[in-house]
Structure 1
Amino acid sequence: MRIEVWADVVCPWMYIGKRRLERALAGRGGEPVEVVWRPYRTDPTAPAEATPRAGLLTDPDAREALRECAPGLTPEENRDRVADEARAEGLGPRWGAVWRASSHDAHRLIALALDAGGARLQDAVVEAVLRAHFVEGLDISDREVLGRISDGAGFPSGGALLDDGAGEEQVRELLLRGKAMGVRTSPTYVAAGLALAGAQPAESIAALLRDAEAAGEPRRLPEEVERLRYAEALLDVRDPLGALTLLRPLLAGHGDDPNVRLLAARAYYASAQLGRARGILEQLVADAPDDAYARLLLGRTLERQGLPAEAAPHLRMAAAMVPDYG
């Protein structure tokens, strides 16, 4: 059985949640559990060059990121609460990040470790990154620091892979997949289609694992179908550019599929790329004149391009086929 943990290495609840997950795993029998770490960004506005956290609580953007990490608490209240929880999990006595650092490259390293050596190597890299950030006070956005972390965790090629740009597209897509799945909190535990948000007690994580084991792994959809569904979910949460990122391989390999083309047209329309949307929709309407929705979207696209006379016939035909479109 596999459990995926979507979390951000600069969120202290990830480190606390990791310890609680380890206790949950230590106290259970049943089938072996593979833990896979997936990226999440709690502070996407963190600067590329790390800054001292000393002034963090006076920065409006940083305060907003901290509020998202602990809804209902002020950043000051959250800081004190986290310190208490960390001590209870044995993560003291020295605790607390020194730098406000982007976690992007650290997530790349973690994803690359999974590809290179599986879950065990990835876990070693995750532990080393968290310790460096929260205990050793290092800047984990620094490539040299990440290289040393990688070496110490048994992943000597990690630093060179980062320098070569490896993992960029993979992490970008994983972040979009997490968003499409509805991940909104660091950490979020997902197993057998069940999810548990937040650094919950070990007992709650153990209960999730029992429920997931009882449910069994859901049938895995083909990669193309899964990608299409994630892209559609991103459109539903108003991220058309993210949808287009996930659709790019499908457009390259399955560009004749009408479902792929229609979803791409919707994403182009939603992101105001009207010329691209129009090109796809005109071909869809030519191929399937009775596709009411394609006609409706083509009419609306033409309207937004300032072409009401060209839009009108398509809108009338769409309304005739489906009265709700009128």
Structure 2
Amino acid sequence: MRIFLTLAAIFCAAPAMAEHYETAPVTIVIHGGAGALAPGRYTPEEEAAFEAKLNEALDAGYAVLENGGAALDAVEAAIVLMEDAPMFNAGKGAVFTRDGKNELDSSIMDGATLNAGAVAGVTRVKNPIKLARAVMEKSDHVMFARDGAEKFAKENDLEMVKPSYFKTEHRWDAYKRALEAEKNKQKDAALFHDFKYGTVGAVALDAKGNLAAGTSTGGMMMKRYGRVGDTPIIGAGTFADNKSCAVSSTGWGEYFIRLTIARDICAQVEYQGKSVEEAADDVINHRLQDMGADGGVIVLAPDGSYAMTFNSKGMFRGVRNAEEKMIAIYGNKAE
């Protein structure tokens, strides 16, 4: 399912922005997770809700870029909207751990400076992407976890909520079904697969030519013992470098960590001269797939070229620039 909108007429009325687009073709690409998203997975009403939120996130991020704002601000704006939306596995609407809790991970990276921030296992921070950025900009460290991360959030006046804020009934029902399947020693592969890969992310290119990337997730349903996936690990779930590209990942985190998916894509671009499409295809459709895992990435280059590559049945995704606006859910390859 795809929606296209040509925006050239809109920008013809804004000549003041022309030199920005000549300098760098401002662009934002987002994803809302990959996984078992074959047509028919959602009702038309559910699809419409996903499309509306993807559109809203794209518009929020692009508005920052259109007004001359930084790529970091655009990434944060888009991800906050998806963290606040109960249909995605990030922020409100996150999946449940084996112990019936919502534990959130997030990261962000600045392609201009290679500065990065990440948080893991937080349970009371309303918007983990904001905390990840605070770690990057207001500490000497890259990653904080659990109680320490939440203490840092309070010190920096970030909005805190009760753990119950993140609970949604559809996630709770799925958790109860998973517990029952486990109790009966049944391996309901479809049930676990449906919720394994939900994550949100954004990559952006601003008018100054700077790249940024960010990712946020509730992790894997039924995860145990303080498990941390790829999302908060720089180079696995998130990476950005103005010399190569910006990447946000979604998939089976253990494999994305082993393959350092995000960094590998950017390394192929930087050192082998590949396009972002070629690099993403090699890493997702060959290296990852050869290990028996699936997922996807969004990738953005300094020239505005982009890739939305996945080897699962679908990936919530979208892009907006001066020429194009597109969102999609289904498909077995980026189009």
Task: With the length of structure 1 as denominator, give the TM-score of the two structures.
Answer: 0.25
> What is the TM-score when the length of structure 2 is the normalising length?
0.24
Bigger relative contact order, structure 1 or 2 (CA pairs below 8 A, ≥6 apart): 2
Greater strand percent: which structure?
A: 2
